[in-house]
A and B are shown apart, each in its own frame.
Chain A
Amino acid sequence: MSTAAPATNDGAVAPRRRPGSLLRRAAAGRLAVVPLLLFVAVAFGIPAVAMAYGAFTTNTSSTPGTPSAFTSGNLSASLQGGYLTALIGSVKLSAMSALIGTVGGLLLAQAVVTSRFQALRHAVLSASGVLANFGGVPLAFAFIATLGNAGVLTTHLHLKDAGWSLYTFWGLNLVYLYFLVPLMVLSVLPSLDGLRRQWREAAQNNGATTWQYWRHVALPVLAPSLLGGFVLLFGTAFAAYATAAAMVGASVPLITLQIANALNGNVAADAGNVALAMSLDMVVIAVLVMAVYLPLQRRSARWLV
């Protein structure tokens, strides 16, 4: 390690071309990764381990310093009753909004890519960057002002008489799509750019219709990035908390709301460890979705070569 240090010196020394320098450079290159790994180990690793540990332990006595006992009770509690309903509600909402978001994002991205106006491209891309990252609070308020119980559209179009409510499954879907569609645009646009115009022309010269071109050429090529986009959207919708929290009174049970309630001590005292168990449930589901996606992606990637 100490031999690597001189290689990072500033250029006071004359150019070195000694044979050892290449090896030293490689070692110095590896070392540059160390701060990142250390940071992730501390800022991400410690909370993650604490979460997993807490999910399997319980504090039976309230006196400080007593060792906690191992139990699987938190996990089984987190998969029962209202908690289970919330978990299923989250999965359903995320799957549905991710599905609609994937299709909608693909359509919008395709419209932008084939457009002649560069300004449109810049406007959509930058707006997508903001909406996908800004988080749900302003969006929730915008939708409450638009389609909430006293919202502008709700009152002017008398939507309430038609049975509309923003605080339902489909209402939340509509709000989630406001940041999921932009996210999909951002993640699928590079692949759409990669579709060669010649492929389309070749298909057309062979008599293919637009539908046949998409069915047999474009979609198979795009499949990995569409899948990747869907997984990303699912993960984002699954993790979303701010939107639902800002839309007070939403009747849709969500796992993130349950965890936040338990952490804020709004329910039973020992709910803290159940909150950790619910968090672990979330991680397991996210990992499963990722695990389904990775081999699929590798298989589709093989076709691209």
Chain B
Amino acid sequence: MAGMTAATLTASIDPPPGEQASARRRGRPRFGRAAVLVIFGLYFAVPILASFLFTVDDPVKGFSLSAYSQIFSVAGLWPALRLSLELAVATIAVVYLLLIPAVVAVRLGGPRLRTFVELVCTLPLVVPSIALTAGITSVLRWGSDNMVPGQTTFIQQLLIDIQNPSFPVILLLAYVVMALPLAYRTLDAGMRALDVRTLLEAAQNNGAGRTRAIVTVILPNLRGALLNTAFLTLALVLGEFTVSSILGFVPFAVWIVNGNAAGQGPVTVAVSIVSLVLTWLLLLVLSAGGGRRGAAAPANQ
């Protein structure tokens, strides 16, 4: 919110027609800004464009879109993508269920609760995903190493069940842990813009229970932060490679790397570009929509 106001202010003040006094001084940063934007624009655009050239470059015909048409027929892509999308939806759902009540509680509770929850949600940042994977493999190996044929204990059966390749719950657990730091910060920032206590008390004075107050009053006000969390989590799960590849599952990113190693170079690069651009467009639509609401708010006051 504050960000939007500051940006709008700059936008309206920046080009003053009359003032000449500091024109020279202001001219320089503007040139610097253009240079920075051009350099970074090139840095971020060239690899994407070069990958596109790589995918359409055909040694015989010179130009061919066959890498893109193969996306619809290449073996293994759709099962892998479906697994990733299912995992993403499940991860988003679990993150919402765990974090929304917690963030509301943190807003209402004292500073000590707040520090504690913040610490817990930041913890996964200190344990890199590969270290988490190492821990997970040693837990899973403990299950299979101590297995006596014919007599599996409840815990061992559970450890086998969460590795079911058609929907590996173990990946869901890892992804939720990995999504926690960012999701917590996004939701907490969204919540900060609201006066949660007043909203909840108003709803409860009107007879709504806490759950209902959260669902019908708080959540609609959090729409932007909720959508942001969902899309960032989606991007994280779609691109996740470390945990899934070491544990031996084949979701989207692992399929891309395996396919590339198996000689399907152009198709896998094409899939990479398409997935990047699609996710970006989704997020762009979302941020443009959210921005318009955000920018409109100060004007109405």
Contact = CB atoms under 8 A, between A and B. Distances in A.
Do A and B share a complex?
yes
Interface of A: 7-15, 17, 25-26, 28-33, 35-37, 39-40, 42-44, 46-51, 54, 64-65, 104, 107-108, 110-116, 118-123, 125-127, 129-131, 133-139, 141-143, 145-147, 151-153, 177-178, 181, 189-190, 193-195, 197, 204, 210, 232, 235, 238-239, 241-242, 245-246, 248, 256, 259-260, 263-264, 272, 275-276, 278-280, 282-283, 286-287, 290
Interface residues of B, number: 114
8 contacts: A15-B206, A29-B105, A44-B132, A111-B37, A116-B10, A125-B287, A126-B287, A131-B44
Interface stretch (B58-66, B74-82, B207-215, B218-226): B207-215
Nearest to A90: B128
A235 B6 CA distance: 30
A302 B205 CA distance: 40
A242 B260 CA distance: 14
A107 B260 contact: no
Contacts of A190: 3
B164 interface: no
Given A44-B123, A51-B131, A130-B235, A142 B50 contact: yes
Contact of A36 (B102, B231, B241, B260): B102
B134 A142 contact: no
Contacts of B165: none
Given A11-B207, A39-B176, A138-B275, A145 B130 contact: no
A194 to B, nearest CB: 7
Nearest to A146: B50
Contacts, number: 322
- Chain A interface mostly helix, strand, loop or mixed? helix
Interface of B: 2-3, 6-7, 9-11, 13-15, 22, 25, 28-29, 32-33, 36-37, 40, 43-44, 46-48, 50-51, 53-55, 94, 97-99, 101-102, 104-106, 108-109, 113, 117, 120-121, 123-139, 141-142, 145-148, 173-174, 176-177, 180, 182, 204-212, 228, 231-232, 235-236, 238-242, 245-246, 253, 256-257, 260-261, 268-269, 272-273, 275-276, 279-280, 283-284, 286-288, 291, 295
Given A8-B209, A135-B240, A241-B130, A51 B98 contact: no
B207 A30 contact: no
B284 A122 contact: yes
B246 A260 contact: yes
A29 B108 contact: yes
A36 B146 contact: no
B120 A36 contact: yes
Contacts of A37: 120
B25 A15 contact: no
Contact of A134 (B106, B125, B279): B279
Contact of B273 (A48, A138, A263): A138
Contact of B135 (A10, A50, A126, A239): A50
Given A122-B288, A126-B284, A33 B209 contact: no
